[in-house]
Amino acid sequence: MKINNRPQGFTLIELLVVIAIIALLAAMLLPALAKAKQQAQGVKCVSNLKQLATAWVMYCADNRGSLPVNGDEGYQPISSVNGPTIPVTAPQWCPGRVDDSSFGVAPAAQQTNANWPKAGQIYPYVGSAGVYRCPADVSSAERGGKVYPRGGPGGARVRSMSMNAWLNAAPSAVNETAMPTTQYRLYKKDSSLSPPGAANLWLFVDENPFSVNDGFFLDIPTDTGWVDCPASYHNGACGINFCDGHAQIRKWTDPTVLTWTYQNNITARGSNKTADFEWFVKERTTASLK
């Protein structure tokens, strides 16, 4: 009897079949893994927003119902190498700018310096600078201030969330941005949130990486389009919470929101007639005084 002593192994055909099966399984699993990652980021984003809302409420309770101050880009503390000067001038909910120094702005590494959110009025109730950044935000900044909104070298920007500008805007911010406070409500106390009511008045939102600069998110119902723009990096959605503490991931359909990129000297973009502008700006940002 003839015995074959050659070691047994895969034939080329068998190897190709195994590779094809592995590739097929990978193709089936990758979309599920990507969806699971998006869901996990959404859960974390909502958790961060709820923590900020809780801190906001606690601040109000400790300050006789007064809301934290909301300052625009012109209402900022004096900067230093390590952060804002202490004691902080121009106190507000979260000082610091995280926009690009390439456009004439030269904050002293504020984009990646956690000392700036730590100097904010609500930080003692938050306790972690990481809460101010959405996990789906991939923007980064190099030393010196160059920002990469779609991801790139450098460190993560410290903040991607901004506050509704109609919630206790600093007087200088009101004047600088020409907010029509004789036409729309500027809320200063937690007892004055109606209309539209705490459950219908948005508080914090993920802001578009190209739009975010200060923590002052301004849109005006009578504008012809968006001034500041919500983010859409949650697969066309963003995190948003409300003054009663509840939070959600909001899906957008407005093409301006979904495609917004930086353009200098643009004060309003897109249209004020879309369903998203109606839902967000006209119905949940402020209320008419009439």
pLDDT for residue 36? 62
Which token pair is 103? 């456009």
What burial class does residue 187 get, using C-beta atoms within 10 Å of its C-beta: 0-12 exposed, 13-18 middle, 19+ buried? buried
Q: From the DSSP assignment, how many helices (H) and strands (E) are in the chain?
A: 7, 8
> Closest Cα to residue 215, out of 165, 282, 280, 284?
165
- Band (7; pLDDT cuts 50, 70, 90): low
Backbone φ/ψ region at 165: left (φ over 0), alpha (ψ -120 to 50), beta: alpha
Q: Are 81 and 227 in contact (CB under 8 A)?
A: no
What does the alpha-carbon distance between residue 258 and residue 14 come to, in Å, rounded to a whole number?
47
> Would you say residue 5 has pLDDT above 60?
no
Largest separation between any pair of C-alpha atoms in the chain: 105
What does the alpha-carbon distance between residue 146 and residue 99 come to, in Å, rounded to a whole number?
8
Which has the higher per-residue pLDDT, 8 or 56?
A: 56
> Closest Cα to residue 268, out of 219, 230, 232?
219
Which has the higher per-residue pLDDT, 203 or 85?
A: 203
Tell me if the bond preceding 77 is cis, omega within 30° of 0. Answer: no
> Closest Cα to residue 145, out of 134, 132, 155?
155
> Would you say residue 72 has pLDDT above 80?
yes
Residue 219, amino acid? D
Choose the weakest-confidence range: 13-27, 138-152, 167-181, 246-260.
Answer: 13-27
- pLDDT above 70 covers a percentage of the chain that reads 91
pLDDT for residue 106? 57
Work out whether the CA dihedral 35, 235, 243, 76 comes out positive or negative. Answer: positive
pLDDT for residue 35? 64
Residue with tokens 């938050």: 126
Q: What is the mean pLDDT of residues 134-140?
A: 96
Phi, psi of 211 (to 5 degrees): -95, -30
pLDDT for residue 160? 97
